[in-house]
Amino acid sequence: MSQAPKLNKNQKFSTNMASAHELMLLGKQGKKGNQSVARYALPAFNVTTYQGIDAAVDAFQTLGASGIVAFSNSALKHFGNGDAIKGLARASEHVKMLAKEGNVKIATHLDHGDYLSDSGKKVVDAAIECLTSVMADNSTDHKNETHTPLEVNIEATRAVVDKAHAKGVSVEGELGVLAGVEDEDTQSEVSTYTDPEELKDFLTKTGVLMLAPTIGTMHGPNKGKPGQKVKLNIELANECLKIADKINSDIIFVAHGASTLYPNVIEYAVNQLKDMGTLAEATKKWNNFVGTDWDQIEGLIKAGFCKINTDTENRQTYLAALLGAVKAGPATIDIRNFDKVTYKALYHSYLQKLIMAGNYGVWHEPKIDVKNFKFTLS
């Protein structure tokens, strides 16, 4: 296989837009302006609505943070009323417009694109034209729910790199299979760890600068049993980092399934449900939600995971806030009130996660006291 093309770093995107890789590299190198700091990570917030985009971008602006706004295939369909390609155009234009108004750098990312199916290819090709970063998740054949052979994964991922890198669009590959339910388009019953033996081959042949190794994280709201701590394979993460750094120290790892699921959000939702009639089943579900513990994610950040993906906890935050707003005003015809409440909850939860990840003060001083900030729903 010929040498993989390098990422074109001279590509000019719309004002204040950058490739996800450019922003994450600053995190891996611990750079904030002229300052050298500890390694930090960029939460990639999966959004489903314009309100979610606004809340994320406002949080980046408040903190002077580097931003990643991510879209899953089903989110794009939602933005496009069933048509993912239309959704891509609409949602990406919205982010570009907001980025122009501000003074931080933002990347837009396609989450779990695949280059194995015809429909997946169409979305990835369109995303290369309007986003600044794409994931080529070819480690699983989602249609047939099978693990893809290494050579097939390499070939499909390399095809994306060939197109995307020329346009300055960074590419994230996946090696190993991540279990859990991300959304209707991306789910798997089983999980397999990344094989370090395959890693070198995959990175060298594909040329990706972003990789999601599988080290035990899971998508979705049930990452473990209630009361038990989720344990990731940090040892394997460090082993993978050593291999990747030898090939190219610019390679960044990505943690999927990084939602911590805020306990105060669960508690708040359960409290709202208490007086709402026959919702025992829903209360049980909320109580059974288990996220990945933050100390585990911190271990990953040290091991070079500078992109931490969250989707589930954003949806839970939205829903918990909505439950509270509906309970407080079940006959509120001015539905803008519900929008205000859910926006505020999302904005504050995004601030919290960015602060936890150390991603603030990158482009300007934070406009709030980050040390004393605490996200609560009320």
CB of 140 to ligand 13P, least distance (A): 13
Positions touching ligand 13P (CB under 6 A) are 46, 111-112, 182, 219-220, 256-259, 309-313
| 3-state SS assignment for residue 203 | helix
Q: Do residues 243 and 200 make contact, with C-beta atoms less than 8 angstroms apart?
A: yes
Listed in sequence order, the DSSP H helices in 64-173 are 73-79, 84-101, 118-130, 150-166
Give how far the C-alpha of residue 118 lies from the chain's centroid of Cα atoms, to the nearest Å: 24
Q: Do residues 62 and 105 make contact, with C-beta atoms less than 8 angstroms apart?
A: no
Of the candidates 54, 58, 111, 339, the residue annotated as catalytic is 111
How many angstroms separate the first and last alpha carbons of the chain?
Answer: 57
Q: Are strands 140-141 and 305-310 parallel, antiparallel or unpaired?
A: unpaired
CB of 361 to ligand 13P, least distance (A): 25
Q: Is 111 a catalytic residue?
A: yes
- Which contacts qualify for 373-377: CB closer than 8 Å, 24 or more apart? 375/262, 375/264, 375/348, 375/349, 375/351, 376/264, 376/348, 377/264, 377/265, 377/268, 377/317, 377/320, 377/321, 377/324, 377/345
Residue listed under structure tokens 């939600």? 289
**Closer by beta carbon to ligand 13P, 16 or else 19:** 19
CA distance 298 to 234: 10
**Closer by beta carbon to ligand 13P, 56 or else 258:** 258
Instruction: List, as one string, the DSSP characters of 214-227.
Output: -SS-EESSBSS-TT
**Closer by beta carbon to ligand 13P, 102 or else 304:** 304
CB of 260 to ligand 13P, least distance (A): 8
CB of 70 to ligand 13P, least distance (A): 7
CA distance 229 to 279: 27
CA distance 45 to 47: 6
CB of 173 to ligand 13P, least distance (A): 13
**Closer by beta carbon to ligand 13P, 4 or else 69:** 69
CB of 289 to ligand 13P, least distance (A): 11
**Closer by beta carbon to ligand 13P, 114 or else 182:** 182
Residue listed under structure tokens 């789910």? 187
**Closer by beta carbon to ligand 13P, 46 or else 61:** 46
Which residues does the annotation mark as catalytic?
A: 111
